[in-house]
Amino acid sequence: MKGVLLTGFEPLDGGGNSSWEAIALVPGVRTALLPCRFGEMLERLRAAVAEHDPAVVVCVGQAGGRPDVTVERVAVNLDDACVPDSAGSQPIDEPVVRGGPAAYFATLPVKACVAAARAVGVPASVSQSAGTFLCNHLFYGLMHLIATERPGVRGGFVHLPYSPDQVLGEARPSMPVPVSAQALTAIVTTAVSVSLGGDLRLVGGSLH
Amino acid sequence: MKGVLLTGFEPLDGGGNSSWEAIALVPGVRTALLPCRFGEMLERLRAAVAEHDPAVVVCVGQAGGRPDVTVERVAVNLDDACVPDSAGSQPIDEPVVRGGPAAYFATLPVKACVAAARAVGVPASVSQSAGTFLCNHLFYGLMHLIATERPGVRGGFVHLPYSPDQVLGEARPSMPVPVSAQALTAIVTTAVSVSLGGDLRLVGGSLH
Amino acid sequence: MKGVLLTGFEPLDGGGNSSWEAIALVPGVRTALLPCRFGEMLERLRAAVAEHDPAVVVCVGQAGGRPDVTVERVAVNLDDACVPDSAGSQPIDEPVVRGGPAAYFATLPVKACVAAARAVGVPASVSQSAGTFLCNHLFYGLMHLIATERPGVRGGFVHLPYSPDQVLGEARPSMPVPVSAQALTAIVTTAVSVSLGGDLRLVGGSLH
Amino acid sequence: MKGVLLTGFEPLDGGGNSSWEAIALVPGVRTALLPCRFGEMLERLRAAVAEHDPAVVVCVGQAGGRPDVTVERVAVNLDDACVPDSAGSQPIDEPVVRGGPAAYFATLPVKACVAAARAVGVPASVSQSAGTFLCNHLFYGLMHLIATERPGVRGGFVHLPYSPDQVLGEARPSMPVPVSAQALTAIVTTAVSVSLGGDLRLVGGSLH
């Protein structure tokens, strides 16, 4: 049976990254650690997908400052970095894939995934933007890979809050890593079991 | 010479809408007032574009809670309303245009527009999401109209903060309407004068 | 040996209150549940102090929206309720204790308490205001009781974030109750062991 | 007739300070510019009060990040600086006045002042804490001076938001300086005309 591949990020600047710690706690899945480098992360993603041949791929990143687990809905064809990546690259207003469509929607059942996280007691919501930095780059790269080469694979992106030890003295929102992992476990279980096109019809948009 | 068309919104629920007040203060442009109703607003937009035959169309809305003027970058093909529109319609996870592309990028020079607003002293930034409600619906509808029928027109969307009188006792960010109008004036002047593809290469993305 | 008394609040409006759940998880302490009613809560506090004769009293409340555990520093002699208490009382600009001093400082070692919570991995900070509602009322009442009748007792107030199940779909900060309880345990351990006047000299103020 | 003295701050670190610019626009008042230095600012305040012999003194500062004009209610006897002042001094957990009371309440009619600012269209609210840095130091120093030497003088503290040019590209709340000045004008007019003890009974507390 085909399974689930979760990817996490290396720390960007020595500051830790909750995504890698969290996916390590999700049972029964394959995982891949990706570098915080434009371009190279997509090659590593492609290799991991080739190796594991998964039915579901969920890339996981960290959205420092957000208070809940967010399931991303839209990947846009845009790299616009406000800081450099770990190799010093800082693309501004360039496409992720030259000639690619302006955006892809996640093929995860995003509303059902959000509902599943809440059902296990973890605050979660849909996000309408994964930004224009590394997370969106990976998300778009994943969806483009699926669209062009792996049409049967279901893919998406989930953002986690800071872990508590990243913000001990900063009065910023955080979530313990095992709690984030619980949400991820519920999300991938849902992603595997809900049929394509079978998302829940739940309120979850944003006003602006 | 072809000119500029600015659109504003009627109040959604009797609470006022800074967009209509602000565009009325921008000199030398045509304006159109649009209803807060899915679908109908797009017919009214089409009629206004047909009537004025503009070179630039900037739709303007209100993003209550944002502290600065935001120039939107991406319109997504998604209606996901968390509250009903003024006609009671509340679409959930439906496309704006069935069969349309997942997203359109604004064809305004968004970075140059942001720089122009700041140059006249008004805080401004690029936004990566116009939400999934009325503003995104209008923005996507505009860009689809341009893509399919008005290829020479430059189009985009700008969100304004609350006006002060909307939040007198709420400790929420606001911007006086004449200040918002100053930003809009700078933005449309820039939109008219900067050549297509001639945007500034400035930092302005978001991390997530 | 005299011990520690922790107080928690009943839910104000059926919505739950993380303070009572959290103090139930702190080992080796006495606890008292207080009603969300001005005046009456102070009688119940006085009775609990009389019954347990503690060396340290920490009243615990919930500050919905704050992302971390906050150790309050100042109790002010002011009731100014923006909503009614559970008995329908809504005092505006009245003293907690007529003729009492304008404020009392906590006699907990607040900086050492914050450091202790962080040392067990829980984000925490000093707060300069407990508001003007029920929590401040209780805090001031406690410090006045200590100042006038129980000079040897050490007292203070700690605010907890929402628990996750209070904000599942709201994109607001939360903290699992067992994590809050860990912080409380560290705080009371510190309060018992640090000598009066022996607080740590750590940065922890606020700009405004 | 005795009049009104408004004080403003010098910029702390070359970044500008909206308080000095704003008080310069208030008609019919005396003004004094104070340095961002613990201790020295209080000597300068004392000299200005001696020189102008005012009936009302309102010290004005900047609370970067707040979206509205805030009228402070409580000055606490505590210096706890998280950054150094402009002379490099950084007191931690020291009293403003050794032996002084824990706190003073403003003798401005704070609710009436807030209502007056709103009545001229400027968002405003009561604040329960002026922090533990320079603004609280000045506020406490003023109230102590009044309590011990100038019992007939009415005093308080008002915090202004950033001016727009301080946050052009930061997506943080701001208020144009002339708008802040309008609020100050309404506030001092109210402070002069409302009799002592004659504040309005309006909702304006905070939950926590």
Tell me if chain A has a CB within 8 Å of the CB of C169.
yes
Nearest CA to CA, how far is B110 from chain D (Å)? Answer: 14
Q: Which residue of B has its CA nearest to D69?
A: B171
> In which element (H, E) is residue C70 found?
strand C69-72
> What one-character DSSP code corresponds to residue D165?
G
Task: Verify whether the Cβ–Cβ distance D76 to C201 is below 8 Å.
Answer: no
Neighbours of chain B (3+ CB pairs under 8 A): A, D
Alpha-carbon gap: B62 to the closest alpha carbon of chain A (Å): 8
Give me the helix-helix angle, B110-119 and B177-193, nearest 10°: 130
Contact C208 D66 (CB under 8 A): yes
The answer to whether B43 is a known catalytic residue is no
On whether any CB of chain A is under 8 Å from the CB of B205, the answer is yes
Confidence band, pLDDT 50/70/90 cuts, at residue C202: confident
Q: How many interface pairs between A and C have CB atoms less than 8 angstroms apart? A: 67
A95 touches chain C (CB under 8 A): no
Looking at residue C191, its pLDDT comes to: 95
Q: Pick the residue of D18, D162, D163, D174 with the most B CBs within 10 A to test the interface with B by mutation.
A: D174
D37 CB-contact burial (10 Å; exposed 0-12 / middle 13-18 / buried 19+): buried
What is the mean pLDDT of the segment spanning C61-86?
Answer: 97
pLDDT class for C81, splitting at 50, 70, 90?
A: very high
pLDDT at A110 over 90: yes
How far apart CA A83 and CA A181 sit, in angstroms, is 28
The pair of structure tokens assigned to C121 is 């991995």
Both tokens assigned to B106:
């604004």
- CA–CA gap between residue A114 and residue A205 (Å, rounded): 12
Residue-averaged pLDDT of chain A: 95
The single residue listed with the structure tokens 């210096």 is D79
Q: Say whether B93 and A111 touch across the interface (CB within 8 A).
A: yes
Return the active site residues of A: 72, 135
Mean pLDDT of A160-177: 97
- Give residue-wise pLDDT tens across range D12-30: 776 678 999 999 999 999 9
Report the pLDDT averaged over residues A40-52: 98
Query: Please, which chains are in contact with A (at least 3 CB pairs closer than 8 A)?
Result: B, C
* Among candidate residues D109, D123, D110, the one with its CA nearest the CA of residue D182: D123
Q: Of C125, C172, C176, which is closest to A171 when you measure between CB atoms?
A: C125
Question: What residues of chain C lie within 8 A of the CB of A118, using their CB?
Answer: 168-169
Please report residues of C whose CB lies closer than 8 A to that of D104: 102
Chain D interface includes B178 (CB < 8 A): no
Tell whether A82 is within 8 A of chain C (Cβ): no
Nearest CA in chain A to C69: A171
Beta bridge partners, A180, equal none
Residue B169 Cα distances to A2, D202, D205, angstroms: 56, 12, 12
Q: If contacts are CB pairs under 8 Å, which of residues 30-59 in chain D contact chain C?
A: none
Q: Do A164 and C125 count as a contact with CB atoms less than 8 A apart?
A: no
What is the reported pLDDT for C11? 87
pLDDT in tens, D88-103: 999 999 999 999 999 9
Among candidates B121, B171, B176 on the partner chain, residue whose Cβ is nearest the Cβ of D125: B171
- pLDDT for A1 equals 44
Looking at chain B, list the stretches that DSSP marks H as alpha helix, in order from N- to C-terminal side: 18-23, 40-52, 110-119, 134-149, 177-193
How many angstroms away from the CA of A57 is the closest CA of chain C? Answer: 25
- The chains in contact with chain C, meaning 3 or more Cβ pairs closer than 8 Å, are A, D
Q: Quote the pLDDT of residue D196.
A: 66
Q: At A199, is the pLDDT very low, low, confident or very high (cuts 50, 70, 90)?
A: confident
Residues in chain D within 8 Å Cβ distance of B176: 176, 179
Strands (E), chain D: 4-9, 30-34, 56-62, 69-72, 74-76, 103-105, 124-127, 154-160
Q: Report the distance separating Cα B56 and Cα B142, nearest Å.
A: 11
Would you say C12 and C34 are in contact if contact means Cβ atoms under 8 Å apart? Answer: no
Q: What are the domain boundaries of chain D?
A: 4-163+173-193
What are the structure tokens assigned to D74, written together? 């409580």
Contact A8, A22 (CB under 8 A): yes
Say if the Cβ atoms of D93 and C66 lie within 8 Å: no
Chains D and A touch, using 3 or more CB pairs below 8 Å: no
Which residues in chain C are contacts of D105 at CB distance < 8 A? 78, 102
Q: Residues C141-157: what's their mean pLDDT?
A: 97
Q: What positions of D carry a catalytic annotation?
A: 72, 135
Q: What is the pLDDT of residue D84?
A: 95
> Do residues C34 and C135 touch, judged by C-beta distance below 8 A?
no
Interval A145-158 mean pLDDT: 97
Q: Which of A93, A105, A108, A158 to mutate to test the interface with B (most CBs of B within 10 A)?
A: A93
State yes or no: chains B and C have 3 or more CB pairs below 8 A: no
Q: Are residues C206 and D111, on separate chains, in Cβ contact within 8 Å? A: no
The minimal CB distance from A201 to the residues B81, B93, B128 is found for B93
Interface of C with A in 109-168 (CB under 8 A): 114, 118, 121-125, 164-165, 167-168
Query: What is the average pLDDT across C11-26?
Result: 87
| Sign of the dihedral defined by the CA atoms of residues D120, D124, D125, D130, in that order | negative
What pLDDT score does B14 carry? Answer: 64
Our CA-based measurement puts residue A52 at a distance from the nearest CA of chain C, in whole angstroms, of 34
Interface check D74 vs C, CB under 8 A: yes
B53 vs chain A: nearest CA distance in angstroms? Answer: 26
Name the band, by pLDDT with cuts 50, 70 and 90, for residue C27.
very high
Q: Give the model's pLDDT for residue D16.
A: 76
Going by C-alpha positions, the residue among B163, B196, B184 that lies closest to residue B58 is B184
pLDDT of D130 higher than 50? yes
Q: For B205, which of A64, A133, A207 is closest by C-beta distance?
A: A133
Q: Is the pLDDT of residue B1 over 50?
A: no
| pLDDT at residue B196 is higher than 70 | no
Closest Cβ opposite residue B174 in set D67, D169, D172: D67
Q: Is D121's CB within 8 Å of B165's CB?
A: yes
- For residue D14, the model assigns a pLDDT of 64
Distance CA D180, CA D59 (A): 14
pLDDT score at C1? 44
Confidence at residue C14, expressed as pLDDT on a 0 to 100 scale: 64
Going from the C-alpha of C134 to that of each of A78, B11, B94, C76, D42, the distances in angstroms are: 50, 37, 46, 12, 35
Residue of chain D nearest C74, judged by CA positions: D76
pLDDT value, residue D17 = 85
Is residue B193 predicted with pLDDT exceeding 50?
Answer: yes
Domain D4-163+173-193 classification at class level: alpha beta
pLDDT for D202 beyond 60? yes
Q: What is the DSSP letter of B164?
A: G
Contact B74 A208 (CB under 8 A): no
- Residue range B48-77, pLDDT digits in tens: 999 999 999 999 999 999 999 999 999 999
- Rounded to a whole number of angstroms, the CA Rg of chain D reads 16
Q: Which band of pLDDT confidence, cut at 50, 70 and 90, is reported for residue B103?
A: very high
- CATH code: domain B4-193 is 3.40.630.20
